[in-house]
Amino acid sequence: MTLVQTGRPLQDTMPAMLFRQAARLGARVAMRRKEFGIWRRITWDDYARHVRWVGHALLALGLQKGERVAVIGENRPEWLYSDLGIQAAGGATTGIYATNSAEQVHYILDHSGARVVIVEGEEQLDKLLELRNTLPRLERIIVIDPEGLRSFSDPMVMMFGEFLALGRRHEETHPGALEDRTAGLTLDDVALLIYTSGTTGPPKGAMLTYGNVKFEIESSLRCIPADEHDEVLSYLPLAHIAERSFSVILAIYHGYTVNFAENLEAVPQNLREVRPTLLFSVPRIWEKLYSGIHLGMLDAEWPKRAAFALALSVGKTYAARRLAKRPEPAALLAAYALARTTVLMPLRHRLGLDRVRIALSAAAPISPDVLRFFWSIGVEIREIYGQTEGTGLTTAHRPGDVVLGTVGKPMTGIEVRIASDGEILVQSPGVFTGYFKDPELTARTVVDGWLHTGDVGEFDAEGNLRITDRKKDIFINAYGKNISPQYIENKLKFSPYINDAVVIGDGKKYLTALIVIDEDNISKWAQDHRVPFTTFTD
């Protein structure tokens, strides 16, 4: 396999990468988190120090190599300290979504056998206190945020500050213990236990090794040319491989800065404050940004609307030629430069997208119409495709090689083929070790070294992969025709008046779309057209 040369050796484990970056970057900013309206800076030295303390604290609690430690909470520095501290101590991080129900949390903790759980605050602690009598292996709960718990006392519960103090004491009395544990890790050791959606049953624990992660980094270098000067905004769940890749794995390899959003609702405001240079998002966020622009234009005075329409028209022409890899005439270049300076760049600045140089979309299909719009304003979104079982990345649009409606070509070192029934199969060193405690499901998922993704797709003439739908979502209508609802749903969701859409019609002579309308845009439309209404239902 041919790798892109970066001028520095690739470390084999994530803790090793972090400690190397801390030695190299030291006092430079590794993370930022907003507290009381101010973005607080955390250096690489701070990052590594906290990871060491977490690792030593876990050693003090008796963590053995290969044990699972769970983390439940929203995106924040302590999540990353915990993740890499667990790994440095030889454990496997088991991330759990903060939105999971008590029943789901119970299943994952029981199935993983985690003795130690690190939770964000009182809400997650309450879940565990309700469950602990049915989790006989649970021994210790660590709480990151003590708000509302100052007078709380329980022998099983330890606050994060106390946990770090335990780590500091262990580091003083056992110097070198953590380094010895970290040095004993191999590429075959499990680093991450990621529980994937249990839509057809309980969640499945995908085991990802350090070798899988190392391959993900190597294969991503051409399509994600990040560097230490980049800034990202972290807001998608860290329990998912996608956000983990950008907020942890690639961040500690490249050395860029991770900024934590306050919450999902604050993402638009935080985008304007951080103005990231690398933005990974999901279609729903891109669609909401588009919808917000549309709504803003409806409220604008007619000269601004006219200027935007003209600039967007020029941008569409310019973007179409770039996508077609055709040279731009001098007149178009001049018109685009004017449109960019007077309208498009100010718009991007208002959105917080003026510094974005790498824009990526993944995790679900996105309408080509949405992509064309953002390309027209100068945000050149590229799609990437993958799944947890393949350690995240399988195919991607490379810079300068984007075909809308596809998810690009297989990444370096990855083979992709289409089975006779249309299912996408993947073979690479990134394919996971298997499902935890489920060898039968593993054997059905990886057959002769090929990962069966559950997605249906096809290649175009240039070797770009086009995703048709999930295999289980395709249905047959009354006339015997295979229907892929995803394409229709994406077309519907491009409308600024539609938040979501689901197409049904299995065995029927017709298709039906269930529509979730966008309340803000519909309300604005009704007001502009003098349609009387009193409630959202009207």
How far is 484 from 491, CA to CA, in rounded Å?
A: 12
In the listed set 149, 170, 185, which residue is the last one of a domain according to the structure? 185
Whether 492 is covered by a domain: the verdict is yes
Above pLDDT 70, what percent of the chain? 91
Question: Domain boundary residue among 185, 209, 228?
Answer: 185
Q: What is the pLDDT of residues 161-190, one digit of tens each?
A: 999 999 999 999 999 999 999 999 999 999
Answer yes or no: is 419 within a domain: no
Which residue range forms the structural domain that includes residue 122? 14-185
Mark out the alpha helices in 377-533 (DSSP H runs): 439-445, 485-493, 519-528
Domain annotation covers residue 284: no
Least Cα distance to 273 among 34, 43, 41, 78 occurs for 34
What pLDDT shows up at residue 306? 93
Of 185, 204, 239, the one marking the end of a domain is: 185
Mean pLDDT on 386-391:
94
Mean pLDDT of the chain: 90
Q: What is the CA radius of gyration of the chain?
A: 24
Q: Answer yes or no: is 9 within a domain.
A: no
Q: What is the CATH number of the domain that holds 486?
A: 3.30.300
Q: Positive or negative, the Cα torsion across 531, 532, 536, 538?
A: negative
Question: Is 351 a domain residue?
Answer: no
| Residue 160 in this model has a pLDDT that exceeds 60 | yes
**What confidence score (pLDDT) does residue 6 get?**
35
283: in domain: no
Query: For 82-86, 309-313, 392-396, 476-480, which range has the lowest pLDDT when averaged over its residues?
Result: 476-480
pTM: 0.87
Residue 92 lies in a domain: yes
Residue 462 in domain = no
Q: Write phi, then psi, for 384 (nearest 5 degrees).
A: -130, 155
Q: How many domains does the chain have?
A: 2
| Measured CA distances, 143 to 54, 62, 106, 123 (Å) | 13, 18, 17, 10
430 pLDDT more than 90: yes
Position 300 scores a pLDDT of 80
- pLDDT score for 341: 96
On the question of pLDDT at 255 being above 80, the answer is yes
CATH of the domain at 113: 3.40.50.12780
Q: What is the pLDDT averaged over residues 324-335?
A: 94
